[in-house]
Amino acid sequence: MTGPTLKIAERSKMPPFMAMDVMRFAAELDARGHDIVHLEVGQPSSSAPKPVMDALVASMAQQKSHGYAVALGISELRERIAKHYREWYQIELDPERVAVTVGSSTGFGISFLSAFDVGDRIAIPNPGYPAYRNLMLGMGLEPVILQAGPEQGWLPRLEDMEKWDRLPDGLMIASPHNPTGVVIPDKELKEICVWCDKNSVRLISDEIYHGLSYTSRCETALKFTDNAIIINSLSKYFSMTGWRIGWMILPRQLISAAEKLAQNLYISAPTPNQIASLKAFDCIDELDQHVERYKENRKILLSGLPIEFLGNVAPCEGAFYIYADISTLSDDSISFAKVLLEKTGVATTPGVDFDSIDGHRFLRLSFAGSTATMHEAVKRINAFVTTYKKDAA
């Protein structure tokens, strides 16, 4: 008997996040006993800072109810995040403008829903983090590609948007950037903020990789405008991906909309995790040691990987990614990543996740893991490339 033909929303047909598919395949191989070197997913191999874990245990021991928090987050955490802006960026921030979210991922949803209407156009850098585009499509927004590849010096260029028939309603930027690791210099960041204000373009600045930069410190867009939505979280620098604590700094006019959306979407971020997260901002010494490890990992990959594998590699000034140009070896990053995984056990992410135009020439390698993992990856990739070239000859 056939069932009723029920409708499935068009917008649910968004592209999959392929990094997750590779992660699943690599995990299956892991489970079957293969020795897999994980360079595919951007999450630190280190745990949350010890004082954060201790605070969670202490909070549990008090056997409080740990019920819902208010939608924008417990006041202590909103105040601590505001203090973080004073400590890191010398900015006086009203805690009322801070909204605690369930990771930065829900911050995107809340920003898009509070700032844009169905059909609005938002410029997104290409290559870029796939969830921006996928979520926008799911919400009936129109992501408009703003090229930020090698021809643009890997940066989004304002002059390119000025050539369009009409300016977008919003602009999304991320610095340090995923997948390229590129950092937008302060001067350009200021120009972007001023341009957006002048042209009434709502800026959303994803600053989730702040703290992870290897050439210069990153400035926040908040320094240059109060109209941008700033997105951040404890996932990357703070080494707390699974804790699902993020935050937004909101322009005042959006606070009420964001609060209502948060109430209806998830009620509140997990209360025990919010309480424990208060400690995260005081663990800079411990967290900076991870940054030292990433620096070392970055050096091992950049100096140890064969030139054919790195190619015209993006600058990699921040985050924990190398966006390798494999075009002299292959023009199909999906098949190449698959063969690499099968033959060597090294899991990487095909560039097509981040760039539907040129991503077939790139692979993203995450160096968020251990230093031993990077040495092993270099060894296996070098051996693979030598054989691969011989077979092709």
> Which positions lie near ligand PLP, rule CB under 6 A?
42, 103-105, 129, 174, 178, 206, 208, 233, 235, 241, 246
- Residue 336 is encoded by which pair of tokens? 């190449």
φ, ψ at 174 (rounded to 5°):
-145, 125
* Size of the chain, expressed as the number of residues it contains: 393
Query: Computed over its alpha carbons, how large is the radius of gyration of the chain?
Result: 21
Closest by CA to 223, choosing from 171, 288, 158, 175, is 175
Q: Among all residues, whose Cβ is closest to ligand PLP?
A: 103
Minimum separation from the CB atom of position 101 to ligand PLP (A): 8
Full 3-state SS string of 137-177: HHCCCEEEEEECCHHHCCCCCHHHHHCCCCCCCEEEEECCC
Minimum separation from the CB atom of position 392 to ligand PLP (A): 33
Nearer to ligand PLP, 318 or 345 (CB): 318
Nearer to ligand PLP, 43 or 327 (CB): 43
Nearer to ligand PLP, 291 or 339 (CB): 291
Nearer to ligand PLP, 45 or 382 (CB): 45
User: For residues 265 and 308, what is the distance between their CA atoms, to the nearest angstrom?
Assistant: 46
Minimum separation from the CB atom of position 211 to ligand PLP (A): 13
Minimum separation from the CB atom of position 260 to ligand PLP (A): 21
Nearer to ligand PLP, 246 or 351 (CB): 246
Nearer to ligand PLP, 276 or 378 (CB): 276
Minimum separation from the CB atom of position 165 to ligand PLP (A): 29
Minimum separation from the CB atom of position 145 to ligand PLP (A): 17
Minimum separation from the CB atom of position 102 to ligand PLP (A): 8
At residue 119's C-alpha, the angle toward residues 116 and 120, to 5°, is 40
Nearer to ligand PLP, 235 or 330 (CB): 235
Nearer to ligand PLP, 133 or 384 (CB): 133
Nearer to ligand PLP, 178 or 373 (CB): 178
Give yes or no for a contact between 342 and 313, defined as CB atoms under 8 angstroms apart: no
CA distances from residue 391 to 60, 311, 329, 332, 387 in whole angstroms, order as listed = 59, 20, 11, 17, 6
User: For residues 375 and 367, what is the distance between their CA atoms, to the nearest angstrom?
Assistant: 11
Minimum separation from the CB atom of position 238 to ligand PLP (A): 10
Minimum separation from the CB atom of position 110 to ligand PLP (A): 12
Residue 368 CA, distance from chain mean position:
13
At residue 281's C-alpha, the angle toward residues 23 and 293, to 5°, is 50
End-to-end CA distance of the chain: 57
User: For residues 257 and 318, what is the distance between their CA atoms, to the nearest angstrom?
Assistant: 33
